[in-house]
Chain A
Amino acid sequence: MTAVPTRTAAAPAATSRTSPARPRRQRGHWLFLLPFLVPFTLFTVVPVGYAAYQSLFRTQRVGGTFGHTTSVFAGLHQYREVLSDPDFTRSVGRVLLFGIVQIPVMLLFALVLALLLDSTVARLKRFFRVAYFVPYGIPGVIAALMWGFLYDPRLSPVVDVLHKVGAHPDFLGSGSILWSMANVVTWTYTGYNMLIIYAALQAIPADIYEAARMDGATGAAIAWRIKVPIVRPALVLTGVFSIIGTLQLFTEPQVFRSISTSVTSTYTPNLAAYSLAAGDDYSEAAAMSVTLALATFILSFGFLKLSSRKAQA
C-alpha cells in the first residue's frame, strides 16, 4: 500500500522541473483538491473532533428525575468509565478472539483458492472465480439475514440434514454463535480476498517459474516457495482490511440479535457504543467510539509497520 504512491510521486516532480514555471499552474491544484477536501473535512475530520470534544463532558440532571440535563466538563472521566466497564472489555476480548481465529482461517482459505486458480491443475477457472466472488456482491445485512435463516432450527435445511445423520448442532447458542458469525464473515469476504491475492499472482511474470521448473520443482513447491513470498504485500493488505473489519464488527451481531438471545446489546464494541447512543448517553458513546477508532487505527497501522519491517529483514 505504501509502495505505490511513492512510485507515482516521482513522475510529476521530474516534469515540473524541466518545464518553465507558470504561476497559474502552481495555483490550479487547490481548485481540484477543495471539492474533495471540504466534504472530507466536514464529514470525516470534524465528526471525529466533535466526538473527541464531546467525550470530555458528562451529562448531569438538574432538579431531580424530571429536570433538564446539562453537560459539565469531566476531563477523561468517560474514558475511565469505558475502560473499566466489564461489558466493554468483554466485547473487546470477544472481537480479538474472533479476529485471531477467523482472519487466519479466511486468508488461508483465500490464499489456497487463489493459488489453485493460478496453478495448472485447476479446471473451469473462470466459473470458479465468478462463483467465489458472488457473496461479496451481497450486502452484509442480507448475508446475515440469509445465514440467520440457515441457522434457525425451525427453518434450516442444514439443521434438517444434520439431524438425519444424528448431529444436533445449535448454531444460535451462546457458545457457538460467535463462530456462526465468523462463518458469515468468512463466506462474504473470502472471494474478495482471493481476488486481491489472485490479481497479485497474475502480475508475476511467468518466466520466474521457468528456472524453478527446470530445476525440477513441483507445482506445490513453486507455490509455497516462490508465489507466496511474492504476494506478501497482497496478504498484508487483506490482513489490514480484515483487522479493521473485525474490530468494527456490527452488522452480523445486530441482525442476529433478533433471532438469538445469546447476542447481548454489548456483544461487540461497536454494538456497545451504538446501544449507548440509542440510550441517549452521548458522552460515553463518544468516548467509546473514539477509543475504538484509535484502537483500530493503531492496530492496523502497527500491523502495516510490523509486516513491512519483517519484509526488509
Chain B
Amino acid sequence: MSILTDTAGAHPARPAADGRARGPRDNRAAVVMATVFLVLAAVYMLLPVFWLLVSATKSQGDLVDSFGFWFSGFHLGENLKALFTREDGVYLHWLLNSLLYAGLGAAVGTLLSSMAGYALAKYTFRGRELVFSVILGGVLLPATALALPLFLMFAKLDATNTFWSVFLPSIVSPFGVYLSRIFAASSVPDEVIEAARIDGAGEMRTFFTIALRLMSPAMVTIFLFQFVVIWNNFLLPLVMLQDERLYPVTLGLFTWQSQVSRDPQLQILTVTGSLVSVVPIVIAFLALQRYWRAGLSAGAVKS
C-alpha cells in the first residue's frame, strides 16, 4: 500500500524524521559534522556537472588553457552552431534516434510489461510461478550480457546495422514485469475486475478501460526506468550499428571522442554535445522524482 500512496504524491507522515521535530539530543557539533559531510558529498556529485557546464561555454583553445572550474570567454552560441552543423547535422540525428529508441521502446515495453504483470497478479493458472521465475531470471541477466549473443543471432539473420536490431531487444524489460506485478496486485482491486465482468466487459476491455487507468502512476515509473536503461545502453548499439545515421547520441559522442587525436576541434564538440544530451534528461529526472522513489521503494521494501 505504501507504493500506492507514494505514487499518488503523498509523502508518508514521518514527523520525527522530517526534521521539524528535533530531539533535544541533537547537539550543535553533530549538526555541523553532518552538514560538512553532506556538503562535501554534494560537491563531489555536482562538481563534474559544473565543469561540463562551464567547459561548454569555452572555445577549444580555452578548454585546454584556462582553469577548468571557471568561465573564460563565452562561446556557447558558436559551439552549439558547430555542434548542430557538423557533418550535415548528424548530432541532431543522434538525439532524435536516442529519443526514438528510448521513448518509443520504453512506451511499447511498458505496455507489454503492464499486461504481463497484470496477468501474473490477477489470474490464477498452472505454471504461473514458473513463468514468473523465468522472467525474474531475466532480471539477473543484464543487458550487457545479452548484447553479444543478440549480435551473434542478428548477424546470422543478416539483420545487424538496422533500426530494429537495437529497438526490438530494448522493448523487453523483465524488471518492468516484476514491478507491474507488484503494482497491479496492490492497485487493482479484485472487486473492480469482478464488477466489470458482471457488467459484461471482456477481459481486454476490462484491462484497457479499468486496470490500465488504476495502474497508470505505476506505469510512469516503469516507463522512466526503462527509458533510462535504453538511453544509457551503449554496448548493444556499439556491436549492432555501423551506419552513423542510426547511432544513439551516446555512441555518436563516443566516436567523436575517439577521433579527437585526428581532429582536436571534436573535443569541444564532445563537451558541448554531452551537455546538450544531458540537460533534458536531468530535468525530466528531477521533475519526476516521486515516481522514481515509488519504484525504488517497491524494489527495496520488505514487510
Contacts and interface: CB of A to CB of B under 8 A. Distances in A.
A231 to B, nearest CB: 8
B271 A149 contact: yes
Q: Is the interface on chain B under 10, 10 to 19, 20 to 34, or 35 or more residues?
A: 35 or more
B91 interface: no
B151 interface: yes
Contacts of A199: 293, 296-297, 300-301
Contact of A12 (B12, B122, B232, B253): B122
B185 A13 contact: no
A16 interface: yes
Given A196-B299, A202-B14, A209-B16, A155 B152 contact: no
Contact of B14 (A142, A206, A274): A206
B149 interface: yes
A297 interface: yes
Contacts of B120: 33
B300 A135 contact: no
Interface string B101-143: 0000000000111011011111111001101100111101110
Contacts of A139: 231-232, 234, 250, 277-278, 281
B49 A237 contact: no
A203 B301 contact: yes
A13 B31 CA distance: 51
Interface in B221-242: 228, 231-232, 234-235, 238-239
A157 B38 contact: no
Which size class do A's interface residues fall under? 35 or more
A284 to B, nearest CB: 11
Contact of A274 (B111, B155, B235): B235
B8 interface: no
A285 B182 contact: no
Interface in B258-273: 258, 260, 270-271
A86 interface: no
Nearest to B29: A121
A23 interface: no
Contacts of A258: 257-258, 260
A123 B228 CA distance: 30
B146 interface: yes
A195 B174 contact: no
A16 B190 CA distance: 9
A43 to B, nearest CB: 4
B259 to A, nearest CB: 9
B131 A11 contact: no
A98 interface: no
Contacts of B301: 4, 199-200, 203, 233-234
B234 A251 contact: yes
A60 interface: no
B185 A11 contact: yes
Interface stretch (A99-107, A125-133, A166-174): A125-133
Contacts of A233: 300-302
Interface in A248-271: 248, 250-251, 254-255, 258, 270
Contacts of A42: 168
B297 A46 contact: no
A213 B153 contact: no
B49 to A, nearest CB: 6
B172 interface: yes
A120 B23 contact: yes
Interface of B: 2, 12, 14-17, 19, 21-23, 25-26, 30-31, 34-35, 37-38, 41-42, 44-46, 48-49, 51-52, 55, 63-64, 67-69, 111-113, 115-116, 118-125, 128-129, 131-132, 135-138, 140-142, 144-146, 148-153, 155-156, 168-169, 171-172, 174, 177-178, 181-182, 185-186, 190, 194, 197, 203-204, 207, 228, 231-232, 234-235, 238-239, 250-251, 253-254, 257-258, 260, 270-271, 274, 277-278, 281-282, 285-286, 289, 292-293, 296-303
Interface of A: 1, 3-5, 8-9, 11-13, 15-16, 19, 22, 24-26, 28-33, 35-37, 39-40, 42-44, 46-48, 50-51, 54, 109, 112-113, 116-125, 127-128, 130-143, 145-150, 154-158, 160, 187, 190-191, 195-197, 199-203, 206, 209, 213, 218-219, 231, 233-234, 237, 240, 244-245, 248, 250-251, 254-255, 258, 270, 273-274, 277, 282, 285-286, 289-290, 292-293, 296-297, 300-301
17 contacts: A1-B299, A15-B194, A25-B123, A29-B128, A32-B118, A32-B119, A32-B207, A33-B115, A40-B135, A40-B138, A48-B149, A51-B153, A135-B49, A146-B48, A146-B51, A293-B149, A297-B141
